[in-house]
Amino acid sequence: MSTPLPGMTLPADHPLVTTDPSRSTAASPLIAAYRGETTSRTPVWFMRQAGRSLPEYRRAREGTGMLEACLTPALAAEITLQPVRRHDVDAGIFFSDIVVPLKLAGVDVDIVPGTGPVLGSTVRTAADVAALPQLTEEALERIREAVRLTVAELGSTPLIGFAGAPFTVAAYMVEGGPSRDHLGPRTMMHADPETWDALATWAADAAGRFLRAQIEAGASAGQLFDSWAGSLSLSDYERYVQPYSARALSHLASEVPSGVQQAPLVHFGTGTSEILPAMRDAGASVVGVDYRLPLGEADRRLAKSPGPDGRGAVPLQGNIDPALLAAPWEILEAHVREVVDAGRAAPGHVVNLGHGVPPTTDPDVLTRVVELVHSIQP
């Protein structure tokens, strides 16, 4: 298995470091909120904002498969930029998918329309894991190029890097595709912990290298997305998952403990209300909260459960209920205002959805939500 890379030092022309005001993101509302600092306006972006809800996305993707789009630098950059142009969100989220690192490593995987990621073969034995190819720095060059193209167009608007968390990626590998209960990986943890360790370590190193490549190329923050962590008990999460999320995030460790050279890292999962302190303790500086738990309660749970390093409450991201995007405006507006108000309890708050943008969402509604959030004083 590969080992975490040496401490990361951002180049002098990186958006978090540069002194060029037209390219600097260090004082942007998003980065300020992620660091728990005062913001000039309430920042907002949406998970899955670059995607199926936009007609320009559908035109750009016409005739192109999902993974091909992710691995074509100019197209990935264009798709990432589309919602920033349309909605005036406070960040772009790098257009990718959680299985892109697998594809880059040489794993047989595809994204099947209407189904999701599907692997050519499952990974269920020690021999299966030992046969997995390693993700190399050379294979990541297309990702770096896509990030460079995107950052050049974003100017002082931050780009957020993206990677799937080890548990979610490993769950797809064990099951061979989407699963409702993730029984396979949950069983492997207990029945064959050595194979689980090897697989989760592989997934952690792939995620960490993938996310690090994006940040080194110009992303100003990163998000580790654990879609299926909510299927776990707290004890299973702490024993069999948290160490590997921590390993993934360790690839992003900076050689300086604080300051502008450190990119904020967000850890988000769905159905994770009962494990938020454990997710924080994996090492991210911001915790994403899904729509099931009010932000004030999330802040309370984090504050009352400080981790081994003494951290309690941290900046939060979230958590508009995506279902309300199709509700009458007066209902959605009231909900958005409640979310913004609840977020004031946390050391910092970036408004987002409690999951991704549904593909049927009216883009004009998203634009209107952004305008509303920006109109509310931080």
pLDDT single digits (tens) 86-106:
999 999 999 999 999 999 999
Main-chain dihedrals φ then ψ at residue 241, nearest 5 degrees:
-125, -50
Helix axes 183-191, 193-217, angle to 10 degrees: 120
Catalytic residue chosen out of the listed positions 34, 86, 90, 97: 97
Q: How far is CA 198 from the centre of its chain?
A: 23
Residue 269 lies in a domain: yes
97 is catalytic: yes
Instruction: Tell me what pLDDT residue 261 has.
Output: 53
Catalytic residue chosen out of the listed positions 23, 41, 52, 300: 52
| Confidence bin at 3 (pLDDT 50/70/90) | low
Helix axes 166-175, 193-217, angle to 10 degrees: 130
Residue 330 lies in a domain: yes
SS3 of residue 160 by DSSP: strand
48 is catalytic: yes
Does residue 317 surpass a pLDDT of 90? yes
Q: How far apart are CA 182 and CA 103, in angstroms?
A: 21
Indicate which CATH number applies to the domain containing 48: 3.20.20.210
Catalytic residue chosen out of the listed positions 34, 57, 124, 172: 172
Residue 20 lies in a domain: no
Instruction: Tell me what pLDDT residue 286 has.
Output: 97
pTM confidence score: 0.95
- Angle, CA of 229, 235 and 238, to the nearest 5°: 65
Does residue 80 surpass a pLDDT of 80? yes
Catalytic residue chosen out of the listed positions 23, 41, 61, 292: 61
Let me know: does 326 contact 359? Beta carbons within 8 Å: no
Q: How far apart are CA 255 and CA 66, in angstroms?
A: 36
Per residue in 58-76, pLDDT (tens digit) is: 999 999 999 999 999 999 9
Q: How far apart are CA 252 and CA 65, in angstroms?
A: 30
Q: How far apart are CA 1 and CA 165, in angstroms?
A: 17
The predicted model gives 297-314 an average pLDDT of: 93
Residue 148 lies in a domain: yes
Q: How far apart are CA 155 and CA 286, in angstroms?
A: 24
What DSSP string runs through 310-344? S-----EE--B-GGGGGS-HHHHHHHHHHHHHHHT
Mean pLDDT of the chain: 94
Does residue 296 surpass a pLDDT of 50? yes
Q: How far apart are CA 283 and CA 258, in angstroms?
A: 14
Residue 13 lies in a domain: no
The predicted model gives 33-51 an average pLDDT of: 94
* Amino acid present at 368: R
Residue 4 lies in a domain: no
Per residue in 211-252, pLDDT (tens digit) is: 999 999 999 999 999 989 999 999 999 999 999 999 999 999
The predicted model gives 244-271 an average pLDDT of: 81
13 is catalytic: no
57 is catalytic: no
Q: What is the number of structural domains in the chain?
A: 1
| Confidence bin at 110 (pLDDT 50/70/90) | very high
Of 328, 280, 331, 326, nearest to 307 by C-alpha is: 280
| Confidence bin at 11 (pLDDT 50/70/90) | confident
Provide the domain limits for residue 219. 29-375
Residue 155 lies in a domain: yes
Percent of the chain with pLDDT over 90: 88
Strand partners, 225: 164, 268
Instruction: Tell me what pLDDT residue 254 has.
Output: 65
Instruction: Tell me what pLDDT residue 9 has.
Output: 82
Structure tokens at 46: 């949406």
Residue 11 lies in a domain: no
Does residue 258 surpass a pLDDT of 50? no
Sequence-distant (6+) residues with CB within 8 A of 121 are 108, 128, 176
52 is catalytic: yes
Of 223, 233, 202, 193, nearest to 92 by C-alpha is: 223
349 sits in which H/E element: strand 349-350
Choose the weakest-confidence range: 4-8, 69-73, 151-155, 290-294.
Answer: 4-8
